[in-house]
Structure formats: structure tokens, C-alpha cells
Amino acid sequence: MILVYLIGILFVGGIFAWLSERLDSRYPRIIALVTILIDLFLMINLVQMEPSAGGWIASIEAPWIPRFGISFYLAVDGLSLLLLLLTGFLGVIAVGSAWEDIQERTGFFYFNLLWTLAGVLGVFSALDLFLFFFFWEVMLIPMYFIIAIWGHENKNYAAMKFFIFTQVTGMLMLVSIIALAFLNFSETGAFSFNYNDLLRLETSGLMGFWMMLGFFVSFTTKLPSVPFHSWLPDAHSQAPTAGSVILAGILLKTGAYGLIRFAVPLFPEASVSFAPFAMALAAFSILYCAKVAFAQTDIKRLIAYTSVSHMGFVTLGVYAWNELALQGAVMTMLAHGLSAAALFMLAGGLQHRIHTRNMEHMGGFWVKVPKMAVVAVFFSVAALGMPGLGNFIGEFLALLGAFQANILFTVIAAFGLIFASVYSLWVIQQVFHGEYRNSKFDDSHLSDLNNREMVYFFAMMIGLVWMGMYPQSFLNFSEPVIAELLSNMGTSLTTMVRN
């Protein structure tokens, strides 16, 4: 029942946050913060629970639409638990980033924020594929409203683009899910959307390849990866800071999780033949988006393109499909969640203070806002893969595992680390060094990070240092899950990629 409580508390908390605005506009943010903290407390209880023989830490299954074999099936293992914890942690950060930023329709804002988080928790725990798709839709619609209502100058365009990309590709996944259910019916005489039942299906041949492609396109659009990435820079540049935190830190990870949990295990044979193309696409995405980042003057668009570049290491690791690569993909997901969220918070904080995102109008901020400058340097070097921090562990393991699978694509992808160093230091130079050009913007509200903001940034710093210095505490959670996935698939995927 704890999984039902985790999701239900967010749904109910969202409704209370919306209704409380009638009493006082400050109540919604307090209710939202308390709601997420309660969820975090329950997640910590999950950490202390012993997994069952199948590796599941907690699970619940009940009939939902039995005529079509649809059940309310939630389960959490070590992999999904790590992502639940990331969601809860960044949920608190998102509320903190919106604390002073959101002043209009606060109740409806926090309602959408909490329902987005509830949808994400459902995505990370649903093992009935129809239920999974239901939660996939639940997390997207509130995010659309967050961008469309509280976004910036081109918010309607960005929100509609986000919605179209995610909905169209989501429909492809739904078609693949229904096709899997019909395939199960043809083999067993019964409909089922149960993950464990569908794992046993024979999904070879052309039909299996097209079903796999439906999942792949949907998940890599959310990841995102070239060529399905163009919605992300618009969404990030127009979204409020809290929306960018949720997008970069959490929603992108649902795509990566879907690849690991569903796309490859459900279609092993199709994934074998598709793996070289997926790794080539990942390497191209890493380099292409790193290059495009250099052409940006909008700081949030630049960070968005770097996010696409870094998430390419996740795709590379997934389709290398060995223990090192998969562990690297998981660690990259976790570390990128913290570093990207922090960078978007910094960019959003700057925009809130000086009302511009144009880096050509910035410069010389080091003297004016020294605490912000130091925090920006920390998260910039974290994003470029500084040893001792979580991003380095993730990308190093992903590359090490990918090298065992395909040397060429791994070498190409490794150049992305060089580009990351260049554009990270270039942003620091543009924003915090050089001439202070206050004639380009209104600096009357330019102030350094306050104590509340420093608490949130310090918490994310601790997380990245912990991942970098003691990664085994995270790898221990995902190791049994990855071992089970590899044993089910065998070594065929890695062997085929290598050949």
C-alpha cells in the first residue's frame, strides 16, 4: 500500500493546494512542500525495506479492468527506488525555486506541480503497461499548463510544441502496447498488459521491430535525443524555473527509464539489430548538441542543448547493454538530474533578477554576486565531468561499458567531454568575468543568492559529491536489477553490438 500512498498523497495534496489559495496565496506553497516532504519520508522507509525473492522492494496488484487483462500493478525495485528518491528530492527543490517566483494563481500552479510529480512516480512504479501509459499522460498534461500559463514571452508556442511532440510519440507507444496485448491474446487466449506476462512473449520478426520502434521513439523524444529533441530548448527557455527543474531533473529521466525497463527487455531480438544504430544516434546527439550549444546566446537554451548532449551518454550506455554501461547510464541519470536542475535554477534566478537571458548583455557578475558565481562554477565543472563528482562516475562507466560493445562510437562520443569543458568554461567567462555591462539591463534587483537558495544549492552539491566520492551506495541499489535484466537478455545484445 505504500506505493499507493506515495502517489495518492501527491494527488490529494495538489487538490488541497489549489483550494487553499482562496484562504491565502501563501498556503499552496506550504502545502506543496509539506506534501513532498511526507512522500520523501515514505521513500526513506522504502530504502530500509528488504527486497523479496524477485528483487521487488514493494508491490501491489489489484484488478482494474479485468475484461481486458488490465490491473493496478505497482512495484518498486532498486532502480525505480533511486528514481523515486530523485523525484522527491527535486520536487522539494522545485517548490523552493518557485517560492518567490510564482505570484499569480499559486494554487493552480502547485496543483499542476504535484500532479506532475504524481504522474512521474506512477511511471517509475507501474508494471501494467496500460497503467504505465495512463501515468505517462498524467505527468505531461500538468507540465503543459505550467509552461503555457507561467512561462515567458513565447510560452504558448513552447507549450504546444512540447505537447505535440510528446503526445504524438506517446500515441506510437500506445499502439505498440496494444499490439503487445493482442500478441499475448493470440498466444495465450487472454488479454494481458502485465509486464511479466509480456516479457515471455516471442517478439521477433518485422512486427517486433516496429513495436520496439514505437517505444524507442516515444522514450527518446522524452529523453530527448536527436532528431526528436527540438521541443526541449523551447520548453526550457519559456518555462518558469520550477518547470525547468522538473523537466531537466525528472521528466527526461522517464524516457531513459523506459528504455531500460521496457524498450530493450520486451524486444530483445529487435534491440539487438537496432543497437548499432541507437549507439550511433547517441554519439551524434552528444556531438551535435554540444556544437549547437556554442551558437546560443540565450543561457537557458544553451543549458537545454547541453542537457540533450549529456543524456546521449545514457542512450549509449543502455544500448551497450552490459553491467558497466547500464550502471553508468543510471548514475548519469541521477547526477544529471541534480546538476541540470541547479544550472536551470541559476539561469532562472538570473532572469528573475535582471529580466534577460541574453548572455551578450551579461558580464562581470563575479564581483556583484560572488556566491552565485561560486555555485555556478561548481555545477558547471560538475556538468563537464569533474572527477570526484557524480557526473564523472556516470559518464566514465557509460563510456567504459560502451567501449566493450563498440569502440568507434565510444571514441566519437568521448569527444563530447572535450566540448563540454569548452562550453562550460565559456559560459562562466561570458556571465561572470569581463566587463560589467549594466547599461544592457536593469540591475536594480541584481542581488546575490539568499539563505534559502543557498540551502537548496548546498543540498544538491552534497548529492553530487556523495555520488562522486561514494558511488557504491547508489550502485548497490541498481546492481541486482541490472543483473536480472542481463540474465534475462543474455549476452546477445552486447555481442551483436560488438560484432
Tell me the pLDDT tens digit for each residue of 88-133.
999 999 999 888 888 888 999 999 999 999 999 999 999 999 999 9
Secondary element (H or E) of residue 211 = helix 205-222
For residues 123 and 133, the answer to whether their CB atoms sit within 8 Å is no
List the beta strands (DSSP E) in 335-473: none
Contacts of 406 (CB under 8 A, 6+ apart): 276, 279, 320, 497, 498
CB atoms within 10 A of CB 435: 7
Contacts of 348 (CB under 8 A, 6+ apart): 97, 101, 240, 241, 244, 300
Running DSSP on this structure, what letter comes out for residue 224?
Answer: T
For residues 340 and 303, the answer to whether their CB atoms sit within 8 Å is yes
Q: Provide φ and ψ at 363, rounded to 5°.
A: 140, 145
Is there a cis peptide before residue 233, judged by omega within 30 degrees of 0? no
Q: Work out the burial of residue 466: count CB atoms within 10 Å of its CB; fewer than 13 is exposed, 13-18 middle, 19 or more buried.
A: middle
Strand partners, 194: 128
CA–CA separation, 479 and 241 (whole Å): 34
The pLDDT assigned to 21 comes to 87
For residues 498 and 405, the answer to whether their CB atoms sit within 8 Å is yes
CA–CA separation, 157 and 188 (whole Å): 46
User: Domain spans of the chain?
Assistant: 275-499
pLDDT in tens, 358-394: 888 888 888 888 899 999 999 999 988 889 999 999 9
pLDDT in tens, 406-448: 899 999 999 988 888 888 888 888 888 877 876 666 677 788 8
- Residue 264 cell numbers, joined: 530493450
CA–CA separation, 256 and 314 (whole Å): 7
